[in-house]
């Protein structure tokens, strides 16, 4: 039934745009009917977006537009460019050791990583592609370093827009776009539902990758005092060594501190913005045990995104069928 709903709506939209017989018109994007996806940031957890998109395609859920922040912009852009399979192959081929060859470390720069090696890999697949050349709308969200303004990139170089959206402060160097220094969009709009609403999309589905990181917001009252040293953990000798996720999250270091700070920022900003402009439906893959820098765990993240979406397909279909302009009578 859902296929007929969107098929009929597409026919009406085509007629409204002058579809039918007549002289050939210049190539232009035809606005499609379907859901709008707001793909949130999350660094390595962002691989879950691949699973989400695969599940939606398998269920024949049409996608009208994608607004992406950080990794959401990267995955969304590759999907609309028809390169999702290539991105999945790249992601699942990463290992702890193999990841190093894509990191061009810099000393004294604005970020630890220049990002040009990753950019060259993207150019291999997406060279010459522009956002306006895609068959559906894509908006990449970034933040301007000097003013703190939220920036919506909806035209121009696809690779440059994606790089600007995932330029995590302190990790990647800011990206120069049209004379502005841009940083990761998660600093201003971690789950860009508001972007989809601004483009007058009726059905907005958000993918929030840090919903379960901290639980509900709370205020704690403490008495200042010294903490007792942690008790030593018994060493397991009866099985192969494993790294417990909870223990890994408790390890403190510069990287861990930066990751925790960025997680808190994303969580608090997204809760505030989504409360004021909620989506019609929110998907929340349980990816909290995947660290921000654990890009080599793509297979697990993709599976979690796929599973969450397939479990909610019936709910997505009900939301689509209830839309006034798309309802099949």
The residues annotated with a catalytic role in the active site are 70, 184
Number of residues that this document lists for the chain: 329
Structure tokens at 246: 């909870």
Question: Which DSSP symbol is given to 147?
Answer: T
Q: How do beta strands 175-177 and 180-184 pair?
A: antiparallel
45 burial level (CB within 10 Å; 0-12, 13-18, 19+): buried
Q: Which single residue is written with the structure tokens 């397939």?
A: 310
Q: Where are the alpha helices (DSSP H) in the chain?
A: 2-16, 48-58, 71-80, 84-93, 116-126, 158-165, 193-198, 245-250, 254-276, 298-311, 313-321
Structure tokens at 308: 């969450």
Other CB atoms within 10 Å distance of the CB of residue 250: 9
How far is Cα 285 from Cα 52, in angstroms, rounded to an integer?
A: 9
Half-sphere exposure for 82 (CA within 13 Å, toward CB): 5
Q: Which single residue is written with the structure tokens 């697990």?
A: 300
Q: What is the largest CA-CA distance in the chain?
A: 80
Whether 114 contacts 311, CB under 8 Å: no
How far is Cα 271 from Cα 274, in angstroms, rounded to an integer?
A: 5
């Amino acid at each position: 039934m859902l296929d007929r709903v969107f098929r009929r709506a597409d026919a009406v939209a085509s007629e409204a745009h002058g579809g039918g017989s007549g002289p050939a018109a210049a190539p232009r994007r035809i606005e499609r009917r379907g859901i709008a996806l707001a793909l949130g940031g999350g660094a390595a957890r962002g691989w879950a977006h691949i699973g989400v998109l695969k599940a939606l395609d398998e269920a024949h859920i049409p996608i009208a537009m994608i607004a992406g922040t950080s990794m959401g912009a990267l995955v969304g852009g590759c999907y609309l460019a028809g390169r999702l399979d290539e991105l999945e192959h790249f992601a699942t081929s990463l290992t702890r050791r193999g990841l190093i060859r894509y990191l061009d470390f810099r000393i004294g720069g604005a970020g630890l990583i220049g990002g040009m090696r990753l950019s060259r890999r993207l150019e291999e697949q997406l060279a010459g592609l522009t956002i306006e050349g895609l068959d559906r709308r894509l908006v990449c969200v970034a933040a301007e370093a000097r003013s703190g303004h939220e920036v919506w990139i909806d035209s121009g170089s696809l690779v440059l827009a994606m790089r600007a959206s995932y330029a995590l402060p302190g990790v990647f160097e800011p990206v120069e776009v049209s004379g502005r220094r841009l940083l990761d969009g998660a600093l201003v709009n971690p789950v860009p539902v508001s972007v989809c609403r601004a483009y007058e999309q009726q059905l907005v589905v958000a993918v929030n990758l840090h919903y379960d990181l901290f639980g509900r917001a709370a205020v704690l009252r403490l008495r200042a005092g010294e903490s007792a040293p942690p008790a030593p953990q018994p060493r397991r000798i009866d099985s192969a060594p494993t790294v417990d996720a909870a223990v890994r999250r408790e390890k403190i270091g510069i990287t861990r501190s930066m990751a925790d700070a960025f997680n808190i920022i994303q969580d608090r900003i997204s809760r505030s913005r989504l409360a004021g402009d909620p989506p019609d439906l929110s998907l929340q893959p349980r990816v909290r045990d995947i660290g921000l820098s654990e890009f080599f765990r793509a297979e697990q993240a993709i599976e979690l995104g796929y599973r969450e979406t397939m479990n909610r397909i019936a709910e997505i279909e009900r939301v689509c069928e209830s839309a006034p302009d798309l309802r099949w009578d």
